């Protein structure tokens, strides 16, 4: 079975509603992520960005609507879901590196778990992934010996270990200094283009992320409030978009409230 068989968009959501418990977090979501693109999903903290990602990986089953990833509806059955997840590289904010394994061993982990490749081949693949993130010499280092930026690069190398066609980044810049931020954002862009990936970057770091994005999606108030190119976004005179871009606390986006409460 080939997961990535057709040329449908990498991700397509139609009429999607996502609930957590009895609360509706997002509703009326219609969204297409073109293959090969870097899409920035922007929005204030708590607006539901991570919730949206959970629907793409099948962690969260939508209360309504359809979610398609790589041309297929996200499956419910565990076995098919695991198969789909091999096609999605995920980088989470906390990196999720195992502290008692070296960088190389961390990167080897998905290869050991999901393939039957011989040890020597895995070692070679790990070297290549380390090289891809500019850390060829760091394979034997433990996570505690790495700077924040280097640790995130190791996590990135692990996320691409199985050569997934779709990459999902949840707040990849959080906690990084400005130099590491530049390194990571450029790496995300470079890997997308060199490896022919599709990348979705969920972030509140608007100004760092827009320069490498082909598409921008802004979420607020329980849904998508903007979708278009970064240039169109910057030029938008929508007060909601401008409020978000300028980081103003007062305006049509209720920054510190749940999507259900009315904006003051
Ligand atoms: N597992 C959960 N159970 C209940 N509520 C949740 C859960 N995860 C997130 N939420 C709520 O859903 C809303 C959106 O959260 P999240 O998607 O994490 O936002 P973001 O990633 O944009 O900061 C928040 O109000 C949060 O409290
Ligand atoms: Mg989040």
E strands within 3-128?
Answer: 11-20, 23-33, 38-42, 64-69, 72-73, 88-91
135 within a domain of the structure (yes/no) = yes
Structure tokens at 113: 């778990």
Q: How far apart are the first and last CA of the chain?
A: 51
**Does residue 4 sit in the same domain as residue 75?**
yes
Cα atoms found within 13 Å of the Cα of residue 128, Cβ hemisphere only: 13
pLDDT class of 94 with cuts at 50, 70, 90: confident
Q: Assess whether the C-beta atom of 261 lies below 6 angstroms from ligand 1.
A: no
Q: Which domain holds residue 130?
A: 94-163
Atom of ligand 1 nearest to the CA of 43: 22
> What would the mean pLDDT of 95-122 be, rounded to a whole number?
96
b/e per residue 22-54 (b: at least 16 CB within 10 A): eebbbbebebbbebebbbbbbbbeebbbbbbbb
Q: Assess whether the C-beta atom of 248 lies below 6 angstroms from ligand 1.
A: no
**Does residue 56 sit in the same domain as residue 37?**
yes
Q: Please tell me the distance between residue 115's alpha carbon and the centre of ligand 2 in angstroms.
A: 30
Q: Whose CA is nearest to atom 5 of ligand 1?
A: 20
148 within a domain of the structure (yes/no) = yes
Count: domains in the chain: 2
29 within a domain of the structure (yes/no) = yes
Q: Please tell me the distance between residue 220's alpha carbon and the centre of ligand 1 in angstroms.
A: 13
Is residue 213 a contact partner of residue 178, using CB atoms and an 8 Å limit? no
Helix (H, G, I), strand (E, B) or coil at 88: strand
213 within a domain of the structure (yes/no) = yes
pLDDT at 254 over 90: no
**Does residue 11 sit in the same domain as residue 52?**
yes
pLDDT class of 256 with cuts at 50, 70, 90: low
Q: Please tell me the distance between residue 124's alpha carbon and the centre of ligand 1 in angstroms.
A: 39
Q: Assess whether the C-beta atom of 51 lies below 6 angstroms from ligand 1.
A: yes
**Does residue 197 sit in the same domain as residue 82?**
yes
Tell me the pLDDT tens digit for each residue of 210-226. 999 999 999 999 999 99
**Does residue 155 sit in the same domain as residue 123?**
yes
206 within a domain of the structure (yes/no) = yes
180 within a domain of the structure (yes/no) = no
Cα-Cα-Cα-Cα dihedral sign, residues 88, 33, 174, 46: negative
pLDDT class of 1 with cuts at 50, 70, 90: very low
Q: Which ligand is nearest to the CA of 44?
A: 1
Pocket test for ligand 1, best of 18, 19, 20 (most atoms within 8 A of CB): 20
Q: Assess whether the C-beta atom of 93 lies below 6 angstroms from ligand 1.
A: no
Q: Please tell me the distance between residue 51's alpha carbon and the centre of ligand 1 in angstroms.
A: 6
Is residue 181 a contact partner of residue 104, using CB atoms and an 8 Å limit? no
pLDDT class of 149 with cuts at 50, 70, 90: very high
* CATH code for position 240: 3.40.50.300
pLDDT at 243 over 50: yes
Give me the residues near ligand 2 (ion), CB cutoff below 5 Å. 49-50
Please state, as a whole number, how many other Cβ atoms lie within 10 Å of the Cβ of residue 1.
6
Tell me the pLDDT tens digit for each residue of 157-182. 999 999 999 999 999 999 999 999 99
**Does residue 32 sit in the same domain as residue 79?**
yes
**Helix ranges (DSSP H) in 86-147:** 103-114, 119-132
Q: Assess whether the C-beta atom of 20 lies below 6 angstroms from ligand 1.
A: yes
**Separation between Cα atoms, residue 84 and residue 164, nearest integer Å:** 10
Last residue of a domain, one of 121, 146, 163: 163
Q: Which ligand is nearest to the CA of 172?
A: 2
pLDDT at 151 over 80: yes
Tell me the pLDDT tens digit for each residue of 74-87. 999 999 999 999 99
Q: Assess whether the C-beta atom of 72 lies below 6 angstroms from ligand 1.
A: no
Global pTM reads: 0.91
């Amino acid at each position: 079975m080939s997961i990535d068989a057709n040329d449908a968009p990498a991700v397509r959501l139609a009429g999607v509603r996502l609930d957590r418990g009895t609360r509706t977090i997002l509703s009326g979501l219609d969204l297409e992520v073109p293959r090969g693109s870097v899409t920035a999903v922007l929005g204030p903290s708590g607006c539901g960005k991570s919730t949206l990602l959970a629907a793409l990986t099948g962690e969260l089953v939508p209360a309504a609507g359809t979610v398609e990833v790589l041309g297929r509806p996200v499956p419910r059955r565990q076995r098919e879901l695991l198969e789909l997840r091999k096609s999605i590289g995920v980088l989470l904010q906390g990196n999720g590196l195992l502290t008692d394994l070296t960088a190389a061993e961390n990167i080897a982990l998905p290869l050991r778990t999901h393939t039957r490749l011989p040890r020597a081949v895995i070692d070679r693949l790990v070297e290549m992934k380390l090289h891809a993130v500019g850390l060829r010499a760091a394979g034997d280092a433990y996570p505690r010996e790495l700077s924040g930026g280097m640790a995130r690069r190791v996590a990135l190398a692990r996320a691409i270990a199985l050569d997934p066609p779709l990459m999902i980044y949840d707040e990849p810049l959080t906690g990084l200094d400005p130099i590491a931020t530049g390194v990571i954002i450029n790496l995300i862009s470079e890997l997308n283009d060199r490896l022919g990936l599709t990348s979705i970057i969920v972030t509140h770091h608007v100004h760092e992320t827009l320069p490498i994005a082909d598409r921008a999606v802004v979420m607020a108030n329980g849904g998508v409030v903007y979708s278009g190119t970064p240039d169109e976004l910057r030029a938008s005179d929508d007060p909601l978009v401008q409020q978000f871009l300028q980081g103003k606390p007062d305006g049509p986006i209720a920054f510190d409230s749940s999507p259900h409460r009315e904006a003051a």
